[in-house]
Amino acid sequence: MEIAVSYLKSKYTPEETIEKIEKSQADFIHMDLMDGIFVKKKNDDLNYHMNLVRKAIKPLDIHLMMNDPKEAIEILAKIKPKLISIHIEIASVEENLNVIRDLKIETGLAINPETKIEKLQPFLSKIDQVLVMSVHPGEGGQAFLEEVIPKLVWLKNYREENHLHYKIAIDGGINDQTIQKVKSYVDVAISGSYICMNEDFDKQIALLK
């Protein structure tokens, strides 16, 4: 299992947090961007976030909580992210996945806790990762929602039955307890406050792995 670290909620400044993630055993930096429409919070100053990670060596995984992410995708391509996830709940899923793919960036689809997993079905043979939200998107530090676990089971079975290759990622409320409930289904665990609200990032990452 790989670990992606979200710097959304941290006891350090974003600059310090990125530096600490860079020095850690983390596999990815997870960037959360919100438009104030898809979710209440707004943190989509792209220049600011792009500058934060400009010198980073770790691969970047971007999670766009945005209704209309096309322009952001085109701008963010400049920093060569490894993967960009958009949400299945937005209007133009297919179009935005094509934009990401055409930029030679891996494609991800994120799904909110209340959205039915079957909604993803038409896209599963064409994407690189499914990001299952285990909190309502918008804030770091929320409690893990157990009811999303059946989605992980479904995704793993569906992948096997159909010989597909997408990765399964979980995002929200991941800590040393909740990871136990999901670790046999996920390829990537995204964790924010459990890591970044502590001094020793590697100690927290080791507890997850």
Least Å from the CB of residue 154 to ligand DX5: 21
Q: Which of residues 169-208 bind Zn ion (CB under 5 A)?
A: 171
SS3 sequence, the chain?
CEEEEECCCCCCCHHHHHHHHHHCCCCEEEEEEEECCCCCCECCCHHHHHHHHCCCCCCEEEEEECCCCHHHHHHHHHHCCCEEEEECCCCCHHHHHHHHHHCCCEEEEEECCCCCHHHHHHHCCCCCEEEEECCCCCCCCCCCCHHHHHHHHHHHHHHHHCCCCCEEEEECCCCCCHHHHHCCCCCEEEECHHHHCCCCHHHHHHHHC
The yes or no reply on residue 174 touching ligand DX5 (CB under 6 A) is yes
The residue at minimum Cβ distance from ligand DX5 is: 192
Q: Is 173 a binder of ligand DX5 (CB under 6 A)?
A: yes
Residue 32 known to be catalytic: yes
Site residue total, ligand DX5 (CB under 6 A): 22
Q: Does 112 bind ligand DX5 (CB under 6 A)?
A: no
| Rounded least distance, CB 113 to ligand DX5, Å | 11
Residue 185 engages ligand DX5 in binding (rule: CB under 6 A)? no
Contacts to ligand DX5 from residues 53-92, by CB under 6 A: 63
191 binds ligand DX5 (CB under 6 A): yes
Which of ligand DX5, Zn ion, none binds 96 (CB below 5-8 Å, type-dependent)?
Answer: none
Given the residues 27, 32, 61, 128, the one annotated as active site: 32
List the catalytic residue out of 171, 187, 200, 202: 171
How far, in Å, CA of 170 to CA of 28, rounded? Answer: 14
Residues that bind ligand DX5 (CB under 6 A): 6, 8-9, 30, 32, 63, 135, 137-142, 171-174, 190-194
